Amino acid sequence: MKPILNTQQIDTSSSLLSEGLGMVEENWTSERRLRYELLDKWQWHIIFYLDVLEQNQADSVKKLVLPNRLINPLYGREVLNQRLQEMATGAPSIEQVWEITKKLPSLSKLLSEERDNE
């Protein structure tokens, strides 16, 4: 069965064809026009698909890039060392420390308790 050619449709698709596949000859048979029209529709599907693909790639490019402080384990090292240096100024002897902790329970046991509570 031969396809029935809808003039209006051809007119509309002609503009698409000229934008998409290229030239449409005036003297083409209706079957040939129809074949091109179908091909042209598929081309738009492909173009649309490629557009989506491109968009997805663009989205993946836009992936969050974490700042150095969130990925570098050494970030802040200088600041920490600076704090430790300041803290260490005028450190007492270990005997003076033992004098302070004489009244306290074992610090290792305290640590164990703390770890058990975690």
Partner 1 sequence: MPKYFLETSAFLKRYKEEAGSNIVNNLFNNRHELFYLNLAIIEIRKVFYRLWKYPLQQDDPITEEEFNALSSRFAEDILQMQRIEFTEEMIGQAITILGKAWVPNIFDLAQLSAYLIAKKEYPDVIFVCSDERSKLIEGVKQFVREGDIIVPGGI
Provide the token pair at 73.
């384990």
The nearer residue to partner 1, 59 or 114, going by C-beta atoms, is: 114
Contact status: 97 vs partner 1 (CB under 8 A): yes
Piece of the chain touching partner 1 by CB under 8 A; list 16-24, 49-57, 58-66, 99-107: 99-107
d(CA 84, CA 77): 10
Query: In the complex, what is the shortest distance from the CB of residue 61 to partner 1, in angstroms, rounded to a whole number?
Result: 25
- The runs of H, that is alpha helices, within the chain are 7-19, 30-61, 68-71, 77-88, 94-101, 107-117
Please give the angle made by the CA atoms of 17, 23 and 26, to the nearest 5 degrees: 100
The only residue of 1, 65, 70, 84 in contact with partner 1, by rule CB under 8 A? 84
Q: Which spans of this chain sit near partner 1 (rule: CB under 8 A)?
A: 73-74, 80-81, 84-85, 87-94, 96-98, 100-112, 114-116, 118
